[in-house]
Amino acid sequence: MLSDFLFRLRAIFRAKSMDTDLDEELKFHLDRQLEKSIQSGLSPEEARRRVRLDFGGATQVTEECRDARGIRALEALSQDIRYGFRTLRKNPGFTCVALITLALAIGANTAIFSVVHGALLRPLPYAGPDRLIVLNETHPRIGTITVSYPNFLDWRAQNHVFSGMAVMAGVGYNLSGIAQPETIRGQAVSSNFLSLIGVHPLFGRDFDPSEDKPGAAPVVMLTNPLWQSHFAGRQDVIGRSVSLDGRGFTIVAVLPPDFRTTDAVSVLEPLGVWLTNNTFATNRVNRGDTAAIGRLTTGVTLARARAEMEGIAARLATAYPQDNDHFGIALQPIRELFVGDIRPAIMVLFAAVMFVLLIACANVANLFLMRAAGRTREIALRVAIGATGGRIIQQMLAESFVVAGLGGVLGLGLAFAGMRAMSRLIPAAAMAGNGMNLNSAVLLFALGATALAAITFGLAPAMQSVPAGVHSRLKESGKSSAGGIRQNHWRTMLVVAELALSVILLAGAGLMVKSVERLIAVDPGFRPDHVLRLNLSLTPSQYPNSTAILAFWRQLLDGVRALPGVESAALGTDVPLTNSHSRGDITVEGMPLPAPGSFPHPDEHDVSPGYLRTLGVRLLGGRDFTNADSETAPNVAFINARLARDFFPGQDPVGKRFVPGRPDPGRDLEWITIVGVVDDTRMYGLANPSRLEIYRPLAQGPPGKMDLIVKSRIEPASLTPSIRRVLDS
């Protein structure tokens, strides 16, 4: 067996050498036989004749010996490929058109498949990710919202469908003391979080269960990117201190490179540290930036888990009507949380480029059919000298594979360029950290697309090339024949297929264009032209009270407004289209007290004077905020048009009052007077409706985290260095 295998390898890679050896061996045997015949008394002429009769034709003997090597099919394929390259060189125009058509189609398919693979197919970097479920709360008026921590504790204690459950809470920090201060995102997690998702620190230790309780020591895990960028990948970071919000945190672990969560984070802290800094979280009514994650018990389906958790939510709503009335629960596989709403868009785009590939194949097949019209006599001649129909089909398919292969190579280059362009358009969170690259799966797809294209556009021309009536083909002038009729039949079928696919593709494209037009026609409620947004966060240790915070914000605004090219500047806690929000119940004066869970629950924004002008938000009634709306002035607010329509129909809401939260007996109410009505803005994207919104003056409750919004007369990004200098001064 081994000797046969080695012989075939030698026959493949040393074919010329073996042919030379074969010719010499045959010549040796012929010469010896000729010599013996002459010695037996035959004349040289008669001896040669006898030898030829005994041996047969030299060519026939050579072919029989070659067949004995067992690689005849490979040799034929090699000949066909070489012939295919020669014919393509003779027709550069045909070759260029075919290659460009295929390269564009295969490149587009490969680029889009890299997105499909990264976002939808590639396994998440967790153990058993298909059993990891993210849980949030829901409300019929609000939709999906974050989780009350006491509710999470009840979920974990009462369920029988999850083998484990952990909680995650979003946190933000100012990182300092290493390089230029910067704002980073983090997550506070329960101690079982990493073990639940099946991730182990690259080095260092996991969080301890004791660190789930308030008062836990400030320790932190670094994600791999932060470790590499700020600590140069040094392994002696364990035990070192890092300054977060001016407070020292001890580094206890570094996470592996492929670690990902549902948010782009740089650090993990223990849940106990978060509970220490957010004592409100222990109140059931408060729902911070938290979510729960659970691992389904083996054998439990998502439907069963959803049914049980909805039952628990219903019991909690009955047990705590003031805090949980109308609140439900949402379960979502963790993959869906990464992909979000872009799954349909990805699949539609992938289907579209597949149609493009099929259309390209039909186009190239038509080119091959037209080219085959000039080869009718050539193919008929091949059949006349002994070529079979199968051999003709093999040779034609070999040519199509040569074209498809070259188109595939060019398509990979186009796909690589396309991936770099699309990486700027696809949300990084949707890829779960999986970059768009030419990995093995994408390369296999490109190979499969190339083979599919070769068969698709090569089979029809190959089939119609098998001639019927060899003699008539050799005699025909080429202007009309049965072959021409068959060729026209194939071309008609291909044209019909192209038209059908094109109509489907154009219909889909028309619907997508219509959707884009509708989105463009949506009024976002503000004007983003020439507006720069910078997210800023103040360190509590440096700005411990509202007086210090307000002084900094005012100084910052004065400095930025004085910069050349700045038209206006303002501060706000939330900006439209960013999906960021802070919400709370309100009680409107003079209205019947709603049932628990039915209070108005608007988004709340703290903004400085000039916010409306900077973002171009229209003031529909009343007045704008001024510097007179200070911390000692009466409490005032704007409301948006939707809140005015829903709660003050047919009335002028200016002068009406409301109070944050729900009135408690015996507590003095801090009424807030409505002084203006502003246009609705799209906080959650153009495809989502506007929500209830209220705006409060910055001075009457200055937060430590704000967005600086700058409207400029020049390119906004060019102002960034100047603004940084103002911040450093």
pLDDT at 7: 46
* 583: DSSP letter: B
Radius of gyration of the chain (CA): 38
Residue 11 has pLDDT above 60, yes or no: no
The one-letter amino acid at 163: S
108 in Cβ contact with 418 (< 8 Å): yes
- Residue 39 vs residue 327, higher pLDDT: 327
Rounded Cα distance between 536 and 261, Å, is 23
Q: Please, which pLDDT band fits residue 99 given cuts at 50, 70 and 90?
A: confident
- Residue 249 vs residue 67, higher pLDDT: 249
Question: Across residues 243-247, what is the average pLDDT?
Answer: 85
pLDDT at 460: 67
Q: Which residues contact 698 (CB under 8 A, 6 or more apart)?
A: 550, 553, 571, 606, 607, 608, 706
Q: Which residues contact 349 (CB under 8 A, 6 or more apart)?
A: 112, 115
Residue range 151-205, pLDDT digits in tens: 999 999 999 999 999 999 988 888 877 766 788 889 999 999 999 999 999 999 9
638 in Cβ contact with 694 (< 8 Å): yes
Q: Please, which pLDDT band fits residue 51 given cuts at 50, 70 and 90?
A: low
Question: Across residues 229-253, what is the average pLDDT?
Answer: 90
Q: Which residues contact 167 (CB under 8 A, 6 or more apart)?
A: 147, 149, 152, 189, 190, 193, 271, 290, 291, 292, 293
pLDDT at 477: 45
φ and ψ of 596, to 5 deg: -55, 135
Question: Across residues 600-614, what is the average pLDDT?
Answer: 90
* 595: DSSP letter: P
- Residue 662 vs residue 70, higher pLDDT: 662
Bridge-based pairing state of the strands 219-222 and 247-254: parallel
Neighbours of 93 (CB within 10 A): 7
Question: Across residues 467-478, what is the average pLDDT?
Answer: 49
pLDDT at 5: 44
Q: Which residues contact 618 (CB under 8 A, 6 or more apart)?
A: 525, 612, 678, 679
Question: Across residues 248-270, what is the average pLDDT?
Answer: 89
Pick the range with the lowest mean pLDDT from 199-203, 476-480, 484-488, 610-614.
476-480
Helix H, strand E, coil C: the string for 454-498 is HHHHHHHHHHHHCCCCHHHHHHCCCCCCHHHHHHHHHHHHHHHHH
3-state secondary structure of 670: coil
Question: Across residues 639-645, what is the average pLDDT?
Answer: 93
Question: Across residues 489-495, what is the average pLDDT?
Answer: 66
The one-letter amino acid at 688: N
Residue 345 has pLDDT above 70, yes or no: yes
- Residue 700 vs residue 86, higher pLDDT: 700
Q: Both tokens of residue 727? A: 């911040």
**Which residue in 302, 332, 303, 329 sits closest to 317, CA to CA?**
329
Helix H, strand E, coil C: the string for 232-259 is CCCHHHCCCEEEECCEEEEEEEECCCCC
Helix H, strand E, coil C: the string for 555-577 is HHHHHHHCCCCEEEEEEECCCCC
Task: Select the highest-mean-pLDDT range: 26-35, 189-198, 262-271, 526-535.
Answer: 189-198
The one-letter amino acid at 111: A
Rounded Cα distance between 726 and 398, Å, is 68
Residue range 405-414, pLDDT digits in tens: 888 889 888 8
Domain boundaries, the chain: 2-70, 92-120+341-519, 142-325, 531-728
Neighbours of 565 (CB within 10 A): 14
Average pLDDT score over the chain: 80
Q: Both tokens of residue 560? A: 């930025």
- Residue 342 vs residue 651, higher pLDDT: 651
Q: Please, which pLDDT band fits residue 469 given cuts at 50, 70 and 90?
A: very low
Q: Report how far apart, in Å, the C-alpha atoms of 695 and of each of 145, 574, 601, 674, 691 are.
A: 21, 10, 13, 10, 13
Q: Please, which pLDDT band fits residue 60 given cuts at 50, 70 and 90?
A: low
The one-letter amino acid at 340: G
Rounded Cα distance between 482 and 485, Å, is 5
Give me the percent of the chain exceeding a pLDDT of 90: 29
Residue 427 has pLDDT above 70, yes or no: no
- The model carries a pTM of 0.71
Q: Both tokens of residue 352? A: 């579209």
Question: Across residues 54-65, what is the average pLDDT?
Answer: 57
Rounded Cα distance between 223 and 234, Å, is 13
- The overall longest dimension of the chain from CA atoms, in Å, is 140
- Residue 161 vs residue 85, higher pLDDT: 161
The one-letter amino acid at 177: G
pLDDT at 663: 73
Question: Across residues 583-597, what is the average pLDDT?
Answer: 79
pLDDT at 488: 60
349 in Cβ contact with 312 (< 8 Å): no
pLDDT at 389: 65
The one-letter amino acid at 13: F
Residue 70 has pLDDT above 90, yes or no: no
Measured between alpha carbons, how far apart are the two ends of the chain, in Å? 82
- Residue 485 vs residue 728, higher pLDDT: 728
Residue 622 has pLDDT above 50, yes or no: yes
Residue 472 has pLDDT above 70, yes or no: no
pLDDT at 597: 66
Residue range 289-309, pLDDT digits in tens: 789 999 999 999 999 999 999
pLDDT at 53: 65
* 216: DSSP letter: -
Q: Both tokens of residue 358? A: 């099929």
Q: Please, which pLDDT band fits residue 498 given cuts at 50, 70 and 90?
A: low
**Which residue in 354, 367, 368 sits closest to 452, CA to CA?**
354
Q: Both tokens of residue 551? A: 């002084």
Q: Please, which pLDDT band fits residue 335 given cuts at 50, 70 and 90?
A: confident
Pick the range with the lowest mean pLDDT from 193-207, 262-276, 334-348, 404-418.
334-348
Pick the range with the lowest mean pLDDT from 195-199, 263-267, 376-380.
376-380
Rounded Cα distance between 448 and 651, Å, is 66
pLDDT at 482: 45
